[in-house]
């Protein structure tokens, strides 16, 4: 297969002339007329080498090179910078940004071809391996968990359901909280890098490659893989990156057998975008009249997205021991929707688990509440099995 060369240059004449010349040499050519387009094509097409002009409007070649080097998908892709500049400082800046080689315009075709051949010869052949990996990409079961309002135990259920699925399967299980500015799992599980989600939402959607997402997953001692959200309230603005979320969830789906999404509370636009992408949706509720009324509206809104009500599981989470909470039969009657599982109050168990930075399902697996969460996991596994037939 012919090597693919991506040419990024805002000069259309350069694109045409260089592209035609290299095509005649047997190379496959892709072209971009600005830095943003160049990044998108680089991440999507994974070229064998990138010819990158420095002087471009909006985003110059130095910034493009820096972003290419930050993304695992293009971290080692050879970059040949070419520009009209001849100053030594400009070349130094290019190399510091990540360029492998540098040519000044105009350059002789023979010289350009020699530099391209030299760069390609240094790269180990990986195309066969990459194609084989891509052809075997799977799509795991994506489980979105949310509630009508905060404080109902969405994050706790997400962490422990992820743990329950891992204990049953020992497969790749990803636990991802998707609410920037409201992260709690990092502290609860004693995990670092709580800026993984921020990093993915802060760039362009094209930069959210499978490789980059995988590199930002934090391995936990329990065996889970975590994508964590920050705690800084100002980061809530990142939820406006709706298209980024769609790409992110599609990438996560290729990295694990089960992907548990902590979607927080309510139905902001990013949640509306994500829910149709999920295989399973779990709504957490408590046995209080106001919460039941809010949850009823939430389920109606989920159904308005074209999602079958029967595919929505409701978990009654009795977080505290109180006579004020309604029984599961009364909650089910008021809600007008079946309750799949009821969780027994176990505040001491969850508090103790937080102290040792692990999901309670691992620290006290025989507890009644742990067994109830394992039951949810077993139901999901049964549905997975049935879908595979």
Rounded Cα distance, 264 and 216, in Å: 21
pLDDT at 106: 78
Using only the alpha carbons of the chain, give its radius of gyration. 25
Contact 145, 161 (CB under 8 A): yes
Token reading at 174: 């990803």
Kindly indicate the confidence band of residue 135, based on its pLDDT and cuts at 50, 70 and 90: very low
Bridge partners of 49? Answer: 5
Residue 169 sits at the vertex; the CA angle it makes with 166 and 170, to the nearest 5 degrees, is: 60
Rounded to the nearest integer, the mean pLDDT of the chain is 90
Bigger pLDDT: 159 or 326? 159
pLDDT tens readout for residues 78-101: 999 987 766 667 788 889 999 999
Token reading at 15: 């694109």
Rounded Cα distance, 190 and 76, in Å: 32
For residues 265-278, one letter each, b for 16 or more C-beta atoms within 10 angstroms of the residue's C-beta and e for the rest, the string is bebbebbebbbebb
Rounded Cα distance, 343 and 319, in Å: 8
Instruction: Flag the least confident range among 197-201, 234-238, 383-387.
Output: 383-387
Kindly indicate the confidence band of residue 193, based on its pLDDT and cuts at 50, 70 and 90: low
For residues 133-167, one letter each, b for 16 or more C-beta atoms within 10 angstroms of the residue's C-beta and e for the rest, the string is eeeeeeebbbbbbbbbbeebbbbbbbbbbbbbbbb
User: Taken in order 210, 59, 33, 55, is the CA torsion positive or negative?
Assistant: negative
- Asked if 4-134 and 138-388 have one fold, the answer is yes
pLDDT at 139: 86
Instruction: Flag the least confident range among 98-107, 271-280, 326-335.
Output: 98-107
CATH 3.90.1170.50 is right for the domain spanning 138-388: no
Mean pLDDT computed over 45-49: 93
Kindly indicate the confidence band of residue 177, based on its pLDDT and cuts at 50, 70 and 90: very high
Rounded Cα distance, 371 and 196, in Å: 31
pLDDT at 124: 53
pLDDT at 133: 47
Domain ranges of the chain: 4-134, 138-388
Token reading at 77: 């892709």
Top CATH class of 4-134 equals alpha beta
SS3 state at 380 = helix
Query: For residue 103, which of 123, 118, 85 has the smallest C-alpha distance?
Result: 85
pLDDT at 380: 96
- Which residues have C-beta within 8 Å of that of residue 366, sequence separation ≥ 6? none
pLDDT at 203: 87
pLDDT tens readout for residues 153-176: 999 999 999 999 999 999 999 999
What whole-number percentage of the chain has pLDDT above 70? 95
């Amino acid at each position: 297969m012919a090597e693919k060369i991506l040419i990024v240059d805002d000069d259309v004449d350069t694109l045409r002339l260089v592209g035609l010349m290299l095509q005649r040499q047997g190379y496959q050519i892709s072209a971009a007329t600005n830095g943003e387009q160049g990044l998108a094509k680089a991440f999507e097409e994974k070229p064998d080498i990138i010819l990158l002009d420095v002087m471009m409007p909006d985003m110059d070649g130095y910034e493009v090179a820096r972003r290419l080097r930050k993304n695992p998908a293009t971290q080692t892709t050879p970059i040949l910078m070419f520009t009209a500049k001849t100053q030594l400082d400009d070349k130094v800046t290019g190399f510091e940004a990540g360029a492998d080689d540098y040519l000044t315009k105009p350059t002789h075709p023979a010289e350009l071809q020699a530099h391209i051949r030299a760069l390609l010869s240094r790269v180990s052949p990986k195309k066969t391996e990459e194609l084989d990996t891509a052809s075997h990409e799977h799509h795991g079961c994506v489980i979105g968990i949310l509630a009508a309002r905060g404080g109902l135990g969405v994050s706790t259920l997400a962490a422990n359901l992820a743990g329950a699925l891992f204990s049953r399967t020992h497969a790749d299980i990803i636990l991802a909280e998707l609410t920037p500015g409201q992260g709690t799992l990092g502290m609860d599980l004693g995990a670092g890098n709580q800026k993984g989600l921020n990093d993915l939402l802060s760039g362009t959607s094209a930069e959210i490659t499978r490789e980059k997402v995988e590199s930002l997953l934090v391995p936990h001692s329990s065996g889970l893989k975590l994508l964590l959200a920050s705690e800084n309230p100002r980061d809530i603005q990142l939820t406006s990156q709706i298209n980024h979320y769609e790409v992110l969830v599609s990438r996560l789906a290729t990295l694990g057998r089960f992907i548990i999404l902590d979607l927080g509370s309510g139905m902001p636009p990013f949640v509306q975008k994500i829910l149709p992408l999920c295989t399973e949706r779990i709504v957490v509720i408590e046995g209080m009249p106001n919460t039941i009324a809010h949850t009823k509206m939430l389920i109606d809104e989920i159904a308005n997205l074209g999602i079958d009500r029967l595919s929505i599981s409701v978990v009654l989470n009795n977080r505290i021991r109180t006579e004020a909470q309604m029984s599961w039969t009364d909650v089910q009657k008021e809600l007008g929707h079946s309750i799949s599982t009821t969780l027994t109050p176990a505040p001491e168990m969850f508090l103790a688990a937080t102290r040792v930075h692990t999901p309670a399902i691992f620290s006290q697996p025989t507890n009644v509440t742990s067994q109830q969460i394992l039951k949810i996991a077993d139901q999901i596994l049964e549905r997975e099995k049935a879908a595979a037939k």
